[in-house]
């Protein structure tokens, strides 16, 4: 069996058949000859214990990717895509409902049903609908989650922030962290569905050393920050790629974890990808990935 490296963004207890290990936030551990691995989150935010099945590479609580003869297991922190408060809605003769209980949310219509698992229990819930978009806002002690469900095509989109509120025909999402003091995004709903109205970025004034440029860059990519992306490209790479082309190349990044200062694991368009960044001074000069 290949060696296993577990990366965790939160505090947890790792139990195997022969040993128990404590991982602090953003730590990793190397395991050999382990067929059974149990994870018990121990941080202040409530999460549910789970078992790692290495054959299940895209589990709701972790992702697995093979690299350099090792199996890398990335534990996932946040909201993940499983019933009892029930909220009923109707739009253009289409009846729908949202069912919330315990650790799951179920969106349903006469013809469709979508179930989403939560990894912690919200302290406050607000639900409603704008046209054919049903939504639920989940408030936690220090963050909020928004799930929007399209009753026409049975699709769901998820958003996270420090605070999420409703505005006329849409939502406002305020968030911070990473390289940003705060980000403000407004979404609106029209006859075609949920769309982005505006997104403004306020980067922190912190000066980063050159080795943290890839971290800055992947933060900007994850948030769709074209201006910061442009400022971090070398002249050579900027002459070949626009920020829009960079965003198209990376796709929708839902999660990332820096393996070292120039190597990043990411879940992009629901695929596990390893990115390698090459620097010219304090600029990104080339990017490679492990895609076929």
Sign of CA dihedral 152, 269, 261, 71: positive
Picking from 257, 286, 249, the residue whose alpha carbon sits closest to that of residue 274 is 257
- Dist. CA 84–CA 76, nearest whole Å: 26
| Residue 232 host element (H or E) | helix 226-232
pLDDT tens digits, residue range 136-160? Answer: 999 999 899 999 999 999 999 999 9
- Dist. CA 103–CA 121, nearest whole Å: 6
Which whole-number Å values give the CA distances from 231 to 70, 199, 210, 235, 245, in the listed order? 35, 18, 13, 10, 14
| Residue 24 host element (H or E) | none
Which pLDDT value is given to residue 83?
Answer: 38
Residues of the chain with pLDDT under 50: 80-83
Which pLDDT value is given to residue 61?
Answer: 84
Tokens of 108: 């349903």
Are the beta carbons of 109 and 98 closer than 8 angstroms? Answer: no
pLDDT tens digits, residue range 228-244? Answer: 999 999 999 999 999 99
- Dist. CA 227–CA 180, nearest whole Å: 13
Are the beta carbons of 28 and 257 closer than 8 angstroms? Answer: no
Which pLDDT value is given to residue 81?
Answer: 41
- Dist. CA 38–CA 118, nearest whole Å: 19
Residue 14 sits at the vertex; the CA angle it makes with 12 and 15, to the nearest 5 degrees, is 145
Tokens of 18: 């022969």
- In angstroms, how far is CA 160 from the centroid of its own chain? 8
The conformational region for residue 222 under phi > 0 = left, psi -120 to 50 = alpha, else beta, is: alpha
């Amino acid at each position: 069996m290949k060696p296993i490296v577990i990366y965790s963004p939160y505090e947890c207890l790792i139990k195997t058949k022969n040993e128990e290990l404590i991982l602090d936030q953003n730590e990793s551990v190397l395991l050999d000859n382990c067929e059974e691995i149990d994870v018990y989150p121990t941080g202040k935010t409530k999460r549910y214990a789970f078992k790692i099945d290495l054959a299940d590479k895209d589990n709701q609580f972790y992702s697995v990717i093979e690299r350099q003869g090792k199996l890398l297991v990335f534990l996932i922190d946040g909201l993940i895509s499983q019933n009892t408060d029930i909220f009923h809605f109707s739009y253009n003769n289409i009846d729908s409902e949202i069912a919330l209980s315990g650790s799951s949310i179920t969106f349903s219509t006469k013809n469709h049903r979508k179930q989403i698992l939560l990894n912690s229990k919200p302290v406050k819930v607000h639900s409603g609908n704008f046209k054919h978009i049903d939504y639920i806002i989940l408030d936690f002690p220090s963050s909020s989650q928004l799930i929007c469900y399209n009753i026409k095509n049975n699709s769901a989109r998820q958003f996270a922030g420090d605070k999420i509120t409703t505005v006329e025909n849409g939502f406002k999402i305020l968030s911070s962290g990473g390289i940003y003091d705060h980000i403000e995004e407004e979404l609106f709903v029209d006859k075609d569905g949920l769309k982005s109205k505006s997104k403004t970025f306020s980067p922190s004034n912190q000066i980063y050393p050159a080795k943290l440029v890839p971290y800055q860059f992947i933060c900007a990519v994850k948030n769709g920050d074209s201006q910061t992306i442009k400022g971090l490209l070398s002249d050579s790479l900027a002459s070949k790629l626009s920020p829009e082309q960079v965003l198209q190349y990376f796709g929708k990044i839902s999660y990332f974890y820096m393996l070292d200062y120039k190597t990043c694991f990411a879940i992009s368009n629901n695929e596990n990808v390893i990115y390698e960044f090459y620097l010219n001074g304090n600029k990104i000069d080339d990017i490679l990935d492990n895609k076929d």
